[in-house]
A and B are shown apart, each in its own frame.
Chain A
Amino acid sequence: MSSFPYLSTAIGLPLAGVVAIAAVPKERARLARPIALITSLVTLGVTIAAAIAFKTGGPRFQLSEDYSWIPAFHIDYSLAVDGVALVLVLMTAVLVPVVILAAWHDTDAPHGVSMEQGAPAGTQRSPRTYFGLLLGLETMMIGVFAANDIFLFYVLFEALLIPGYFLIGSFGGAHRSYAAVKFLLYNLLGGLLMLAAVIGLYVITTRTIGGTFNFQTMSKAVADGSLTMPGSTEKWLFLGFFVAFAVKAPLWPFHTWLPDAASEATPGTAVLLVGVLDKIGTFGMLRFCLELFPNASHYFTPLVLVLAVISTIYGALLAIGQSDIKRLIAYTSISHFGLITLGVFALTPRGQVGATLYMVNHGLSTGALFLLAGFMISRRGSTSVGAYGGVQKVAPLLAGTFLVTGLSSLALPGLSSFVSEFLVLVGTFEKYPAAAIIGTTSIVLAALYILWLYQRTMTGPVAKSVEGFKDLNVRELSVIGPLLALIIALGFVPSLLTNYINPAINQTPAMVRITHQQPAGQSVVQNSVAQANGSGQ
């Protein structure tokens, strides 16, 4: 409970950066890069300050800000974070400066490729547009996690697509236009279904508790039984939200946009796409689906678990079969998102803490993996696995960091993902052992796709095309360094994050209800919060 508007500042700073970049004259367009970097670093500082101001023993939602926005529909500009949202905001704020630094030369004329005829470099790849869009994306991503008003959440959720669309479509690879349209259409369709559900929810609140979009109010009303709806309505509304999040996350069978988008986008965009944007999906499931529609969540849990398990195995199998490095990483993400969804819908505190932790860890390790792949690709100009070989002899730093992030991705103990994957599987096993057992096989598959990728690209005789490879330079090291440090630190001290996440999960009112599987309509038993407290650390 602080008077300083941390969240608005964190949202407003990147936006101010966008304005500053727009004011940069065309001749000095490169100034956009330092402006973007500095803005994102200051934003990171503000979010860290917000995390310090957040009292882990305090109420669930803190750092609240409320201003009336559209009174006709009871819509407020209302922000508040719980521990889950806070760690995701932190992850976003960490990843953006890293991505900006990694993307430093993305808008330069492509090395070794002749310029397209007639188009001067300045208009072809404008650094102002690129870095402006990145900062715009950051504003909306932080806003999505911090929103307490469901309408605000929705508009940011949808508006995110526009900078994402232009980042993929204007700066990506050869098939970028196709990938961008696919990305937008999939997500827009999901989002529109969610819009119908959001409005439906609002209409129900006007009939029961007085029209509101305030999430905390609704969550409380659902928990104390004052916001009730017919079972079929609840199921439809749940589906409206869930499909939007399942597209975003992405869950099989809504996933097909991701490999295209992630492989066509620049590595920096791909990191934000997979690392942050997709987390909104799993975050939304945890926050909105479970808390607002507890009975429907319970009803649909078997279905969701099946989809999650399929995603896990399917993503891993397809990753093994890929010959394009970026596509491969994208499929590994689908597998990981399956596990995260498994943790969310295991409906156990341990599984949900694990899932939240996994969201952060996946952002860090897959982000690092994408960036390293990007560094390799920028040296060789090819995204094909077959174009590389024996990199570790010519560029040992590149190969070494790649190995560590890869091992983190396959959840080696001591690296960050291990804790979260373990928690997810244990949490799932408590209630759904079959799902957990099948999900566990993905760990074996993960070892296969990561190590085989490493073996094919990094070991063996030095491929002709790899000769003369430069090792990581200072800029690239300063990109990967912080991520690796975080991966290792969170591997050993996950309590850095679980201190925030645990109370948030355990204070979820609806959470308490569903974990005890009361038949729908029975009185709520809010007793055994304590049972969950052992999780994490």
Chain B
Amino acid sequence: MTPILAATASTPAPFVAPHVEFGKLSPMLIVFGAATLSVLVEAFAPRAARYRVQVTLTLLALAAAFAAVIALHNVRTGVVAQGAVAIDKTTLFLQGTILVIAFIGTLVIAERRTEGGQDAFAAQGGSVPGSQQEREAIRAGWLTTEVYPLLLFSVGGMMLFPASNDLLTMFVALEVLSLPLYLVCGLARHRRLLSQEAALKYFLLGAFSSAFFLYGAALLYGYAGSVQLQQIAVAIHGNAHGSALLYAGVALLGMGLLFKVGAAPFHMWTPDVYQGAPTPITGFMAAATKIAAFGALVRVLDVALIGSADIWRPVIEGVAIITMVVGGVLALTQRDIKRMLAYSAILNAGYIIIALAATTTAGLAAVLFYLPVYGIAIVGAFAVVTLVRDSGGEATDLSRWAGLGKTAPVPAALLSIFLLAFAGIPFTSIFVGKFAVFQAALAGGAPQLVIVAVLASALAAFFYLRVVVVMFFSDPVPDGPTIANPSIAVKTALAVAALATIAMGVAPAALLHLSNVSAVLAR
């Protein structure tokens, strides 16, 4: 901080370019570069060609960034870019995961076949719902291809968020990932008012939480004299200043981060946003935002605040318990599949927080295993939801899904795989994830969390199974929803998600090994 402030005040000194390790930042640079390029495409490419160019560009950028992550896997890890970014094993693991999820998510987002050449987004985001302008845009067959640059910016922010090594970079990353999401949440083609309401809610509450985060960062700066995580850790270790600033700062910072992971009592936005947002976006957001936010939370807690773990651990444990209870109980009452999955996402956030609270390497490894397997499954689950349609878009009410196992066995079977995985049935990936989490918690001496988690799992099984019961054991409704026949891209995405969910349950050794060796944070 001080060098920057000093430079502006004193007499013009010869400018020395800061040393930036561009190679280690290349995955993020590729994504941000592609995002910028994508904005230019939006400005200059002819309307007819935009969709094709944007989708290609997005997928290529994500693949190239992933290749860059792979290429970096053996570099010396540490803090780069003048201490602003930490490129360590955990960062690379999470960045790779986010890119994979984003790639699969993009395949679903770009889908046009389920709705006769149109995608899931409003023909013209700016048009008033139900207006003449909207009808004309639809008739003209316009597509909101602005989604793709927004998506890329958001992915870039998500990659920076868990990599941020100081609180200001983290705040910037938080905003970069959130702002595009607020926008795309409001772009649903059907039920646009619901979608716009969701976007507004998300934006308002998100702005609140950002403010909390920023205030917390400021207080911690006041406490430690630096926003760098390592410096904060040193200050806590030295216990130099009064603890009031520290406690207030940790509390506010924690609220901002817990909002993003969707933990109770900061979960209120989740069901509305998940329900209102275009379903492909919901799937992407549910998976990728959670991964990024947990990455940031882990870094803040384990690097900066580990010295005061005795103070925040009971709080985090309490949050885990409340999150699991709220997610499990409220999910029981849902009739809408998207809302149900939203509460299930809250519940799963609770499980991950259990592993976080352990603050051990095993705990971090469990988080790192849980995030990708959960992300893949939730993207897959929402992708199935996009296929079940009636005249008003997707048929998300559970009663409409009756007998789907008979009329459309393949989507029903796929969704069952994902739901059974959420329920933690053995031979699915999330079962192994839960196992790792519970193991870390018990080894960390928190049996009470495991007991609550086990009871919440039993509760959760009930509502996951209710969907299976509706699909397989009840008879089809007379004018039931139609099942869209998706493009090869969505079929691939679904097949990959389902196979990964089973494969990581039957043979998790490789991913467990990877998550174990990746559980190293730059301190």
Residues of A at the B interface (CB closer than 8 Å) are: 68-73, 116, 118-119, 123-124, 154-156, 158-159, 161-162, 165-166, 169-170, 176-177, 180-181, 184-185, 188-189, 192-193, 195-196, 199-200, 202-203, 206, 236
Contact = CB atoms under 8 A, between A and B. Distances in A.
Given A170-B473, A192-B458, A203-B439, 19 more contacts: A70-B508, A72-B509, A72-B513, A73-B436, A116-B475, A119-B475, A155-B427, A158-B425, A158-B426, A159-B426, A177-B473, A177-B474, A192-B424, A192-B457, A196-B438, A196-B442, A199-B435, A199-B439, A199-B450
B383 to A, nearest CB: 22
B472 A169 contact: yes
B222 interface: no
Interface in B463-509: 465-466, 469, 472-476, 508-509
A156 B427 CA distance: 9
B512 interface: yes
A162 B425 contact: yes
23 contacts: A70-B508, A70-B509, A72-B509, A72-B513, A72-B516, A73-B439, A118-B476, A119-B406, A119-B475, A154-B426, A166-B472, A170-B472, A177-B474, A180-B473, A181-B469, A184-B461, A188-B458, A195-B454, A196-B442, A196-B447, A196-B451, A199-B450, A206-B443
A270 B135 CA distance: 59
B509 A192 contact: no
Interface string B378-422: 000000000000000000000000000010000000000000100
A196 B450 contact: yes
Contact of B438 (A155, A180, A195): A195
Nearest to B441: A199
Contacts of B451: 196
A454 B426 CA distance: 43
A71 B509 CA distance: 7
Contact of A70 (B442, B469, B512): B512
B221 interface: no
A534 to B, nearest CB: 42
Interface string B422-438: 01111100011011101
Contacts of A192: 424, 454-455, 457-458
Residue of A68, A155, A236 with most chain B CB atoms under a 10 A cut-off: A155
B435 A73 contact: yes
A124 B451 CA distance: 40
Interface of B: 406, 420, 423-427, 431-432, 434-436, 438-439, 442-443, 447, 450-451, 454-455, 457-458, 461-462, 465-466, 469, 472-476, 508-509, 512-513, 516
Contacts of A189: 455, 458
Contacts of B455: 189, 192
Contacts of A124: 406
Contacts of B474: 177
A161 B509 contact: no
A58 B465 CA distance: 46
B454 A193 contact: yes
A193 B443 CA distance: 17
Nearest to A72: B512
Contact of B458 (A123, A170, A185): A185
Contacts of B426: 154-156, 158-159
A177 B469 contact: yes
Contacts of B469: 169, 177, 180-181
| Majority DSSP secondary structure for residues of A touching B | helix
Contacts of B516: 72
A258 to B, nearest CB: 18
Contacts of B454: 192-193, 195-196
A390 to B, nearest CB: 37
Contacts of A176: 473
A156 B434 CA distance: 16
Contacts of B461: 184-185, 188
Given A69-B509, A72-B513, A123-B406, A169 B425 contact: no
Contacts of B475: 116, 118-119
B327 to A, nearest CB: 16
A156 B469 CA distance: 22
A279 to B, nearest CB: 20
A62 B305 CA distance: 53
A415 B443 CA distance: 51
State the 6 A-B residue pairs at the shortest beta-carbon distance, nearest first.
A155-B426, A177-B473, A72-B512, A189-B458, A192-B454, A159-B426
Residue of A123, A124, A236 with most chain B CB atoms under a 10 A cut-off: A123
A156 B426 CA distance: 7
B364 to A, nearest CB: 13
Contacts of B457: 192
A193 B438 CA distance: 12
Contacts of A206: 443
Contacts of A161: 425
B413 to A, nearest CB: 11
Given A185-B462, A188-B461, A189-B458, A199 B473 contact: no
B411 to A, nearest CB: 15
A73 B516 CA distance: 11
Contacts of B438: 195-196, 199
A189 B451 CA distance: 11
A170 B473 CA distance: 6
A166 B472 CA distance: 9
Contacts of B513: 71-72
Contacts of A188: 423, 458, 461
Residue of A68, A161, A189, A206 with most chain B CB atoms under a 10 A cut-off: A189
Nearest to B451: A196
A95 to B, nearest CB: 23
Nearest to A189: B458
Contacts of A177: 469, 473-474
A196 B354 CA distance: 14
A179 to B, nearest CB: 10
B443 to A, nearest CB: 5
A203 B458 contact: no
Contacts of A199: 435, 438-439, 442, 450
Residue of A68, A71, A72, A166 with most chain B CB atoms under a 10 A cut-off: A72
Contact of B427 (A71, A119, A159, A165): A159
Contacts of A169: 469, 472-473
Nearest to A159: B426
B442 A203 contact: yes
Nearest to A206: B443
Nearest to A172: B473
B465 A195 contact: no
A159 to B, nearest CB: 5
A294 to B, nearest CB: 22
A202 B439 contact: yes
A37 B442 CA distance: 45
A169 B465 CA distance: 11
B22 to A, nearest CB: 35
